[in-house]
Structure 1
Amino acid sequence: MRPRQFDLIAFDWDGTLFDSTAIITRCIQAAVLDVGGVVPSDQAASYVIGMGLMQALAHAAPDVPREKYPQLGERYRHHYLAHQHDISLFEGVLPLLSELKSRHHWLTVATGKSRNGLNEALRAMELQGLFDGSRTADETAGKPSPVMLHELMREFGVAPERTLMIGDTTHDLQMALNAGCASVGVSYGAHEPDAFGALAPLHIAHSVRELHDWLRVNA
């Protein structure tokens, strides 16, 4: 078997594995409307996907006063919970993950979701046993801080040069750059890939199929 280039592969969740970008965008907009803020555009709302929840909402709704942040967060969670079971993995994700697992990569998740949110998504998709580790934004520093990746690398004893981050936002790729890790961007999620180039990803995949093919040869 061909030697691995990467021992640890960290995936973002929303917009990379989970087809949730449109629903998250709409839930952010609905939450801002509920608290009387100026509803952000689709582009502004989708830009913050991947950040920790309150950081994301504050960025998307700069006119909402800080004292309304708890209500804003509650309204976002209300809307998201109403739609979370409408979301599914992107087609092709399960075969991709299964093949990487068969090659004995450590598979992890580094996400802006909360721990409860990620656990619920993993339960809903019946993926609890597939990932070896994970970090969420409410239990450590959010993206683009490198802390999530530093903690995962330390947990599995893997060096930065043997770690690959895969994500759909500039926050993901900047986190990898900050951690000294390689990255791959995917263009089918929250951010337009035009901004990825400055963050030096090894590749930009335009579909899960293309990502799978690239990983088969290069991971």
Structure 2
Amino acid sequence: YVIGLGLDQALRHAVPTMTEAQRPEMVTRYRHHFLQQDGAIPLFNGARETITELHEAGYQLAVATGKTHAGLTRAMASSDMTHYFHSTRTADRTFSKPNPAMLLELMEELDVSPERTLMIGDTTHDLQMAHNAKVDVVAVGHGAHSEEQLRALKPLTLVEDFVELKAWFKANA
């Protein structure tokens, strides 16, 4: 359940007995252990090709993530993806999913209306954020939540991977 949420929200859900006094130490310990594991992050099959094609076709691409800004910067740099994205929002710089703030801020910065915005997400938190921002959403089934959970939130469609997503864009853009 916690994948896709900001660290603070995830810890509150995963450790409901945690007190406010314990929270800073838990955050520090999590970050210490996470950063030891944080090497090159492999991309999902077809992700680089799909993102490259969308970028080259002129789409404004952005990232809204539960990661910290530092974590996203490392991940994008290690996968050589930074240059494809016009902007980002992270859970340590604004409200975490499913609050719509990330999408609303990105749309304002990029001067794009909700009607011209499409969220692509692989968790229920992503889909809920899109609905809360009044934005269409496509679900990708390779994430932490089941296809049944994703379909229950009524995305435009559910694709299995980036290869299917690229085909969907070609048919629907």
How far does the alpha carbon of each residue in 1:139-174 deviate from its partner, in whole angstroms, 9 at most, with x for none? Answer: 111111111111111111111011000111111001
Check if 1:207 corresponds to 2:161: yes
Alignment: residue pair count? 173
Question: CA deviation digits over 1:105-152, x for unaligned, max 9?
Answer: 000000011111111111111222110111111111111111111111
Residue identity opposite 2:53 in structure 1: E
Name 1:123's counterpart in structure 2: 77
Q: Distance in 2 between matches of 1:102 and 1:139?
A: 28
Shift of 1:72: 1.2
| Aligned residues with identical type, % of pairs | 48
| 1:183 is aligned to 2:137 | yes
Tell me what 1:157 maps to: 111
Alignment of 1:82-161 (within 5 A): 82-85=36-39, 87-161=41-115
Q: What is the aligned-residue RMSD (CA, Å)?
A: 1.2
Letter in 2 for 1:163: T
Alpha-carbon distance in structure 2 between the residues aligned to 1:192 and 1:162: 27
Partner Cα distance (1:91, 1:187) in 2: 13
Q: Distance in 2 between matches of 1:120 and 1:112?
A: 14
Larger relative contact order (CA 8 Å, sep ≥ 6):
1
Query: CA deviation digits over 1:79-125, x for unaligned, max 9?
Result: 21111115311121110001101110000000011111111111111
Which aligned runs of 4 or more in structure 1 are off by greater than 4 angstroms?
none
User: Which residue of structure 2 lines up, in the alignment, with residue 64 of structure 1?
Assistant: 18
SS of 2:83's partner is coil
> What is the DSSP-based 3-state SS (H/G/I as helix, E as strand, rest coil) of the residue aligned with 2:22?
helix
Question: What is the TM-score of this pair, normalised by structure 1?
Answer: 0.75
The aligned amino acid for 2:37 is: H
- For normalisation by structure 2, the TM-score amounts to 0.95
- Structure 1 residue identity aligned to 2:88: S
Distance 2:157 2:68 in 1: 28
CA distance in 2: counterparts of 1:61 and 1:76, whole angstroms? 12
* CA displacement 1:30-86 (0-9 Å, x = unmatched): xxxxxxxxxxxxxxxxx1111111111110111233321112111211221111115
Moved more, 208-217 or 99-108: 208-217
Unaligned runs of 5+ in 2: none
| 3-state DSSP of counterpart to 2:155 | coil
Mapped to 2, the partners of 1:113 and 1:95 lie a distance apart of 23
- 5+ residue gaps, structure 1: 1-46
